[in-house]
Amino acid sequence: MDLSSRIFVAGHRGLVGAAIVRRLQAAGYQNLVTASRSQVDLRDAIAVDRFFAEYQPDYVFLAAAKVGGIYANDIYPADFIRDNLQIQTNVIDAAYRQGCQKLLFLGSTCIYPKFAPQPMPESCLLTGELEPTNEWYAIAKIAGIKLCQAYRKQYGFNAISLMPTNLYGPEDNFHPENSHVLPALIRRFLEAKEANQAEVVCWGTGSPRREFLYVDDLADACLFLMQTYNEPEIVNVGVGHDISIRELAELVAQTVGYGGAIAWDSSKPDGTPRKLVDVQRLTQLGWTAQTSLELGLRQTLDWFLAHRLQEARL
């Protein structure tokens, strides 16, 4: 992939896609192709075929997906499995048929079994039952991995698959019900601080442990692997260490400046007990994450404050 290559970033307005665009632009890639949903609905196979035929991208970063937290996955299971299957199938198939040189597919560590060994190696895929609270999304992502491997095996299509751990950063979804844990905590503690609330109630027991990767680090890993990796095996992308949700809540409260009490509603689901990925494969390839959780959290908070201020002015 050189600086003149035509590169399609699918999902460029989302958390991951926006970060990939930033990273490519910073590296000097200027021939980027993007499209909003109003321009091409990636769930529509005919529309995707027309788009690829018109723009003929050389490389594709497939970051488009329907994503959400435990609540959203539980309420909209059909949406999560259907939309993601459609997006993946349409883009991967069109990329192959239109002569794309290489495609990078972004999965998720929720593909691994609920009680996978910790840290989770790539080899534990399909070795046990999934976490029920996000199985619809996970099954779709597993299908995407297998689609990439099948197109490589049958057609020789150079499609690689990355499995990022929990992500956060600029352009994240801060919706009060449909967001993931870290942006949800940022919003909850910030609003509690502004309302002078004496207590913030968080879901679950706080005991599960999670790994968090700053999205601009993921974008850097995507560029690195697009340039250097050409194998069928999936690659985990993470930081190699985790933190309990209780510790995370305390860190978010401290960063936001909230001084009240933190309570835990154990009637709400915890989800997977632990999700830490084994990053040995990626480390051996020559890449490691650079952004600490403290720095990434501060930068994410700053983005949310600036974005909220912009919305208020409109």
Question: Known catalytic residues?
Answer: 137
Residue 175 marked ligand-binding: no
Token pair in block for residue 134? 């996000």
Give the span between the Cα atoms of 69 and 252, in whole angstroms.
Answer: 18
Token pair in block for residue 123? 């080899």
Q: Residue 27 contacts by C-beta under 8 Å, 6 or more apart in sequence?
A: 3, 223
Residue 302 marked ligand-binding: no
Residue 179 marked ligand-binding: no
Residue 210 marked ligand-binding: yes
Residue 167 marked ligand-binding: yes
Count the Cβ atoms, other than its own, within 10 Å of residue 79: 15
Residue 203 marked ligand-binding: yes
Give the span between the Cα atoms of 129 and 146, in whole angstroms.
Answer: 17
Residue 141 marked ligand-binding: yes
Residue 12 marked ligand-binding: yes
Strands (E) located in the chain: 7-10, 32-33, 59-62, 102-106, 159-164, 166-168, 199-203, 209-210, 212-214, 235-237, 243-244, 261-265, 274-275
Residue 298 marked ligand-binding: no
What residues are designated binding site for substrate? Answer: 188, 203, 210, 270
What residues are designated binding site for NADP(+)? Answer: 11-17, 106-109, 141, 164-167, 180
